[in-house]
Amino acid sequence: MNVKTRQGKIKRLKEHSKKSVVIVGGGINGIGLFRELALQGVDVLLVEQGDYCGAASSAPSRMIHGGLRYMENGEFALVRESLHERNLLLKNARHYVFPLPTTIPVFSWMDGVFANALKFFGLNEKPAKRGALIIKLGLSFYDFFTRGKTTMPKHRFHSKKETFRKWSFLNKDAVCSATYYDAWISFPERLGMELVSDAEQASDSAIALNYVRLERSDEDSLILKDSVTGEEFSIEPELVVNATGAWIDDTNQSISKRTDFIGGTKGSHLIIRNDDLYRATGDGMVYYENAEGRVCILFPYMGNVLVGSTDLPVVSANGVHCTPEEETYILESLKYIFPSIHIEREEILYRFSGVRPLPSSTSATTGQISRSHSCQVLPANEARSYPIFSLIGGKWTTFRAFGQQIADQLLTELKQPRHCSTEQVEIGGGKDFPETLFEKKQWLNAISEQCQCTDSRAEILLARYGTRATELAEFLVSKQNRPLLSHPDYSTGEVRFLIEKEQVECLNDLLLRRTSLAISGDLNLDVIREINDLLAMQKGWNQKRKELELGNSLSYLEQYHGLDYKTLSSRLSTQQKQQPVAASELTESLAI
């Protein structure tokens, strides 16, 4: 049996149940640590109850950033670390992380000087308006932290006239604006998956399994349940890492004792298709304050606009979704910053929510809670032989630094050396990514020749998979392949590649995380059905199992992303939008 298949991995675990490290939770923090340990040759198992990056890690604002706002809370060390990691990701994940010009509309010259000084010293907990002087101070620190380490331009202020020339939809009360540079990530879920694959490829003793849940403990063993087969099996760990994000306290309770480490806050975002709003972004991020002084963001994302977010305390992380009240809150914030733009509810294509696994806190407002990361250790005791390391907080931006710090702690416990640093290790399709236009052209030529496709098709694949598109191209030439009838931009072979190579177990893995179909607003019933048919064929599901999967997926999309049956069926597929085209013609026009 192939040891890299799901069954092969589980069989191996049943035969050799001792593991040096078990990481519970396959969000970005668990995954980052998994890769870190795998590259040091540690015998490590990662289990995720759902799909990788299926919870908070698929709900970020998609910023890879220093966190300008965190300076108000005095978190300078976090900002410095985040900026360092941002710059590393711009190099190591060139295929998914890009510079992002970010503009702050400014509504006064001096506002917030006193209030923010009080806030800095912990004497004021309310959000305060920020005038030009405060913004200048923050941006100067930002530039100072990255001096000589980035090719991105320094911040720049624009006069009122310049501001309205470029951002003509802005609230007319703006007195000026400032632009600085941060970064954004196009496919965080795919980058998470690539980190898992890189780690498994780097070491035979690194095993990752999605759809495996930590249920409970039994003396010195952890009892895990494979939700694909319903089977339970046990593992004897030397060290346990609890990377279950907003569920950290529940997980500790299930294997040890109740803790009170987490005080999660929920954040929701909307994807909106509105031409004026798209133009209003000025091709970058607008980082603005709403009427109450809370920071919100919007930027162009896959042809639409991503807007967010809310920041609300929650008691439980289960079942979170964007409520109508949050939707109204976000739309109101847009009305404040762009008063002349009218947005219809129907223009909201997609909604997503997640819970930030922040530390429990007594702060009066959620904005005051530290965004830094930390680790709490429950030492081994008479009841269990292993200590539990709980990973609290952590941002997408800083996953590598957090993973590195925890890995060092674990390596000390295991008395194992560190073999390499991950600072310069390129990720997935970011490896050997073409840097210059000339290199890119050469790369596109090679791929289009290999697959007999157009340069523009090769360019889509480069944007989607980075240089892993070469592996995809090799796969495609050996398989039957044609464009999807419902969405010719994807092909049947491409979907099969994702199923085979990227641990796909459910339809939603494909719709929400291996592809960008859902978040880009491209989902409709035809696409969902066609992809489900391919998945069913690949997995050998019967009709009943196939229908069950479709039903599960549709109810999930409705409950968590506001995509009900009526919306999905009213959206036209690409096939319907164009003149009907025979499948054979499509095959000719688009080889892969």
Ligand X SMILES: Cc1cc2nc3c(=O)[nH]c(=O)nc-3n(C[C@H](O)[C@H](O)[C@H](O)COP(=O)(O)OP(=O)(O)OC[C@H]3O[C@@H](n4cnc5c(N)ncnc54)[C@H](O)[C@@H]3O)c2cc1C
Residues that bind ligand X (CB under 6 A): 24-30, 47-50, 54-57, 59-63, 213-214, 243-247, 251, 267, 309, 354-357, 394-397
Q: In the complex with ligand X, which residue's Cβ is closer, 68 or 334?
A: 68
Q: In the complex with ligand X, which residue's Cβ is closer, 189 or 530?
A: 189
Q: How far is the CB of 86 from ligand X (least distance, A)?
A: 9
Bridge partners of 138? Answer: none
Q: How far is the CB of 30 from ligand X (least distance, A)?
A: 5
Bridge partners of 322? Answer: none
First CA to last CA distance, the chain: 31
**146: number of CA atoms within 13 Å, CB side?**
26
Distance CA 25, CA 55 (A): 10
State the angle between helix axes of 469-477 and 492-501 in degrees (0 to 180), rounded to the nearest 10: 110
Binning the chain into helix, strand and coil, the percentages to the nearest 5 are: 45, 20, 35
Q: How far is the CB of 310 from ligand X (least distance, A)?
A: 8
Closest CA to 26 of 50, 8, 4: 50
- Contact (Cβ atoms closer than 8 angstroms) between residue 139 and residue 153: no
Q: Is the dihedral of CA 135, 137, 140, 145 positive or negative?
A: negative
Q: How far is the CB of 477 from ligand X (least distance, A)?
A: 35
Closest CA to 64 of 416, 299, 245: 299
Neighbouring C-beta atoms of residue 278, cutoff 10 Å: 16
Q: In the complex with ligand X, which residue's Cβ is closer, 50 or 237?
A: 50
Q: In the complex with ligand X, which residue's Cβ is closer, 24 or 152?
A: 24
Q: In the complex with ligand X, which residue's Cβ is closer, 276 or 327?
A: 327
State the angle between helix axes of 469-477 and 455-465 in degrees (0 to 180), rounded to the nearest 10: 120
Q: How far is the CB of 494 from ligand X (least distance, A)?
A: 25
> Nearest-CB residue to ligand X?
27
Distance CA 375, CA 392 (A): 6
Q: How far is the CB of 337 from ligand X (least distance, A)?
A: 19
Please, where are the H alpha helices in 121-242? 132-145, 160-166, 188-202
Distance CA 361, CA 501 (A): 41
Q: How far is the CB of 448 from ligand X (least distance, A)?
A: 34
Q: How far is the CB of 411 from ligand X (least distance, A)?
A: 20
Instruction: Give the type of residue at 174.
Output: A
**Largest distance between two CA atoms of the chain:** 71
Q: How far is the CB of 329 from ligand X (least distance, A)?
A: 13
